[in-house]
Amino acid sequence: MLFSQVKGQEQLKQKIKSLIDGNRFPHAILFDGKDGYGTLAVALATAQYLSCTDRQEGIDACNKCMSCKKYSKLIHPDLHLIFPTTTTKRIDKNNESSLFIAEFRDFVQKYNGYPSLEDWYIEIGSENKQGVINVRDADKIISTLTLKSYESPYKIMVIWNADKMNTEAANKLLKIIEEPYEKTFFILTTQHKDMILPTILSRVQTIIVPPLDNETMYAAIKEYDSNLSEQEINIKIALCEGDYNRIRQIDSDVEAEKVANFVEINRLAMMYKKSAKDISDFVDVFSKTTRNQQKDFLDYFLVTIEKIWRYNNGVQLPCHPLEQMGDKFKTNYPKFITKNNIEPIVKVIEQAQNNIDHNANAKINFFDMILKLGYQLEKR
């Protein structure tokens, strides 16, 4: 991956290049931002630039040397990729990154350096299990570090979605991140910095990867679908919130379903006292979706509620927060979100998310969530 292939992020790219050119690049760094902001793309471009034998300082890796050629296929022997895995039909025990490396390389290239964790789980057939970076990955990292590098002066460990590291793995890595082997770089990415152990956080330098700016999103959306009108592009820019991966997600039926479910859940919640049967019917269907889909939907729910709250407080948004949801709902629903219930509503949804993580019974979880939501909406 070249810096020129990383979308937007000009300031960030400049900063990284100047750190590397000035020999000030930290041995352990954490890129903090959503996958769709380009955290992995930035991590891979950084690694390629570090490793390139003929880099053009301040500009980019050469894209011609042996190192760059191997990096373009992610097969450089001194680039080590670590990422969350689960057991699957093929790997039914002792899952670890190295057993999925061929799939991962193809997967990252298929998405041009902008993959999402949800897509990865689908790709490997995780069947609803949450991925983890486990102690076998940590052991592999440690044993790799004790070997000499093969071709490059540097060994580079890229750890994608490092917050998926379990405690055992993190504890094993602490020491080598603190006192690294010579000529070794750790490049971590995360979408949930708060879920990384503080002991790891204190040993890495965190660099924020911000959402993509509107200009970059405009170009990316146009490239994705050249038939869109200016207004459609602008709505999409607003809905994507600087997240490149959302451009394709938003397009799909999945997005339409999220909108429909948002409306339906709120409609049911508003009459929760007399609609137990309807809620139960809805929940029966909804609870059959995968856990990842449910979590994704609740993320969407939170983002939408937050937008409505900002909108109600006079914050200028590029378009109405409920743009896609029928006129009546669009006009009425925002009135139900007030200072009396915004915080409790967020808590209700977060609790439901938490319950999914803890494998709670989906039907009970969502039934309960809708009742509690109804109770809060009533208190507006």
Strands of the 155-159 sheet, one edge to the other: 79-82, 155-159, 184-190, 28-32, 205-208
Interaction site with Zn ion (CB under 5 A): 52, 61-62, 65, 68
**Smallest distance, Å, CB 64 to Zn ion?**
6
- Residue position matching structure tokens 């979100």: 337
132 forms beta bridges with: 85
Nearest CA to 334 out of 235, 257, 300, 325 is that of: 325
Residue 317: strand, helix, or coil: coil
Judged by CB, which is closer to Zn ion: 61, or 188? Answer: 61
**Smallest distance, Å, CB 43 to Zn ion?**
17
**Smallest distance, Å, CB 54 to Zn ion?**
5
Judged by CB, which is closer to Zn ion: 52, or 263? Answer: 52
Q: How many CB atoms lie within 10 A of CB 266?
A: 21
Residue 99: DSSP 8-state: G
Judged by CB, which is closer to Zn ion: 48, or 249? Answer: 48
Judged by CB, which is closer to Zn ion: 18, or 56? Answer: 56
**Smallest distance, Å, CB 2 to Zn ion?**
9
CA separation for the pair 87, 105 (Å, rounded): 18
Q: How far is CA 326 from CA 57, 115, 272, 321, 331, in A?
A: 53, 32, 21, 12, 9
**Smallest distance, Å, CB 61 to Zn ion?**
5
Judged by CB, which is closer to Zn ion: 71, or 100? Answer: 71
Residue 79: strand, helix, or coil: strand
Judged by CB, which is closer to Zn ion: 61, or 308? Answer: 61
**Smallest distance, Å, CB 149 to Zn ion?**
16
CA separation for the pair 315, 177 (Å, rounded): 42
206 forms beta bridges with: 30
